[in-house]
């Protein structure tokens, strides 16, 4: 069983991208931990809510096997956030699974992780990842080494399954 860190925005995270992905991860036997800019109840764009038990500043990457950056309009606050970029870089540097969905792959691009990698993202952010060297695939979900990217809420279930497959392969 792996422990997966799921990073959401305090406001306007995309509900399906958290809940559907988490469901797939937990179905695969993995534990999930939710973190955000601030601790407490976070509100989704579609009316759902989730409780963040950690702030990004408190995260020690050694404790996790994977990180998932959940999308939604609110996740743009992490595009240049130093803690978000640190977490992405450190997790990748330790060979752990790094994943992002919707607009959140921009965090990975800004952390330098997508240079020369196949990746996908929500349509409005294609230039944002390509400008950092990513090779945009246009697919619903793309896996390149230990990086998983997805384009949005309709791909959340498959996204969760692909992360689960990678975790199984890394076990």
- Condensed to tens digits (0 to 9), the pLDDT of residues 140-154 reads 999 999 999 999 999
Is the C-alpha dihedral spanning 89, 110, 133, 101 positive or negative?
positive
Domains along the chain? 3-170 (3.40.50.880)
Q: Region 67-88: what's the mean pLDDT?
A: 98
CB–CB of 140/123 below 8 Å? no
Best CA proximity match to 5, nearest among 56, 58, 66: 66
In this prediction, residue 107 carries a pLDDT of: 99
Alpha-carbon distance of 60 to 90, in angstroms, equals: 10
Tell me which H or E stretch contains 114. Answer: none
pLDDT, mean over the chain: 98
Best CA proximity match to 119, nearest among 159, 77, 65: 159
Percent of residues, the chain, with pLDDT higher than 90: 98
Q: Look at 48-57, 119-128, 152-161, 162-171 and tell me which has the smallest mean pLDDT.
A: 162-171
CA atoms in the 13 A half-sphere facing the CB of 22? 17
Tell me the CA distances in angstroms from 130 to 9, 36, 84, 149, one per residue in order: 24, 26, 20, 14
In this prediction, residue 17 carries a pLDDT of: 98
Confidence of residue 170 (pLDDT cuts 50, 70, 90): confident
- Condensed to tens digits (0 to 9), the pLDDT of residues 1-44 reads 999 999 999 999 999 999 999 999 999 999 999 999 999 999 99
CA atoms in the 13 A half-sphere facing the CB of 151? 14
In this structure, the dihedral spanned by the alpha carbons of residues 29, 74, 52 and 149, taken in order and rounded to 10 degrees, is: 20
In this prediction, residue 52 carries a pLDDT of: 99
pLDDT at 106 over 80: yes
Eight-class DSSP state of 74? G
In this prediction, residue 171 carries a pLDDT of: 72
In this prediction, residue 25 carries a pLDDT of: 98
| Residue that has been written with the tokens 């305090």 in this structure | 10
Residue 71, SS3? coil
């Amino acid at each position: 069983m792996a422990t997966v860190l799921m990073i959401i925005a305090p406001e306007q995270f995309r509900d399906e991208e958290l809940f559907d992905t988490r469901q797939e991860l937990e179905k695969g036997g993995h534990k999930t931990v939710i973190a955000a800019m601030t601790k407490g109840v976070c509100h989704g764009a579609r009316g759902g809510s989730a409780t963040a038990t950690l702030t990004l500043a408190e995260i020690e990457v050694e404790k996790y096997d994977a990180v998932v950056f959940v999308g939604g309009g609110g996740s743009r606050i992490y595009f240049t956030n130093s803690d978000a970029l640190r977490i992405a870089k450190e997790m990748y540097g330790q060979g752990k699974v790094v994943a992002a969905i919707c607009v959140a792959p921009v965090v990975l691009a800004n952390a330098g992780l997508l240079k020369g990698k196949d990746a996908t993202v929500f349509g409005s952010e294609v230039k944002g990842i390509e400008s950092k060297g990513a090779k945009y695939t246009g697919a619903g979900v793309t896996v390149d080494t230990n990086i998983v990217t997805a384009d949005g809420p309709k791909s959340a279930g498959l996204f969760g399954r692909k992360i689960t497959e990678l975790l199984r392969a890394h076990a």
